[in-house]
Amino acid sequence: MLSPYLDQIRAHADPERAAEMAAYHKAPRVYLGVANPVLNDLSRAWRQQLAVPDRVALAKALWQTDIHEARVAAAKLLTQARIRPEDAVWDLLLSWLPDFDAWAIADHAAMAMQKRLVADPARLDQVEDWTRSDHMWTRRAALVTTLPWAKMSNPKPADTAARDRILGWAADYVPDRDWFIQKSVAWWLRDHSKHDPEAVRAFLAEHGPAMKAFARKEAGKYLKAQLE
């Protein structure tokens, strides 16, 4: 099942671009140099052609190749607001967490996870476990996958409770000096400041002094614009 789909990706390979990507992402894996818009088009066509169980099987096979573009395409295959049945999709996405080792692949997988969390917010209980992981990329995923709650303009009471819960995770991350963790806190706060600036101001008043300078600056990026 895998070969025809992998061949479609390989048909767009660009060795020069692949070398640049390998140097940029740094994770030791094969890079084909295929542009993201191409992967968008391919995965969209595959979603239309394949039933969900077949998509899950293909995504699993693509991920196991450990080829950069194949893993990105695997995540795109499963990025959809409504998907039934979805338990196998969520389980597959969870199985990928230990493999996260670079931001691009992790973020594409996180986008698929975001859809499944919004579809079933009870899964936030599982995500909270990620915040205590020894694996930095899993801890980071807890904030990246919950970005939809940062972007809600008119949250329902349950969404407000979830948002406050996630802000608690972000506060717990502040002492962590890893750049990617600090960046994830800043990203969440920056996006949230567009919708609830007062909540972000309160967070920064309490926790900002302990954040790295770049993260504090990014988190308040839009707050500054609102005051000008």
Mean pLDDT of the chain: 95
Asked whether 216 and 185 are in contact (CB, 8 A), the reply is: no
How much is the pLDDT for 105?
97
Instruction: Convert the pLDDT of each residue in 169-182 to its tens digit.
Output: 999 999 999 999 99
What pLDDT does 1 receive?
76
Kindly report the pTM of this predicted structure: 0.93
Residue 183's closest CA among 130, 129, 144? 144
**φ and ψ at residue 30, rounded to 5 degrees:** -75, 135
Query: What pLDDT sits at residue 226?
Result: 56
Tens of pLDDT, residues 131-186: 999 999 999 999 999 999 999 999 999 999 999 999 999 999 999 999 999 999 99
Cβ neighbourhood burial of 15 (10 Å; 0-12, 13-18, 19+): exposed
Q: Would you call 109 helix, strand, or coil by DSSP? A: helix
Calculate the CA 204 to chain-centre distance. 23
pLDDT of amino acid 81 = 85
Closest by CA to 138, choosing from 179, 110, 163, 117, is 110
Render pLDDT for 99-112 as a digit per residue (tens, 0 to 9).
999 999 999 999 99
Alpha-carbon span 113 to 119, nearest angstrom: 10
225 pLDDT band, cuts 50/70/90, is low
Domains of the chain, residue spans: 1-119, 143-228
| Relative orientation angle of helices 52-64 and 68-77, to the nearest 10 degrees | 160
Burial class (CB in 10 A: 0-12, 13-18, 19+), 107: middle
Among 144, 87, 151, 158, smallest CA distance to 116 is for 87
Is domain 1-119 classified as CATH 1.20.1660?
yes
Q: Is residue 70 over pLDDT 90?
A: yes
Q: Is pLDDT of 228 > 50?
A: no
What mean pLDDT do residues 24-41 have? 95
Whole-Å CA distances, 102 to 13, 99, 115: 20, 9, 21
Per-residue pLDDT, 49: 94
- pLDDT confidence bin for 207, thresholds 50/70/90: very high
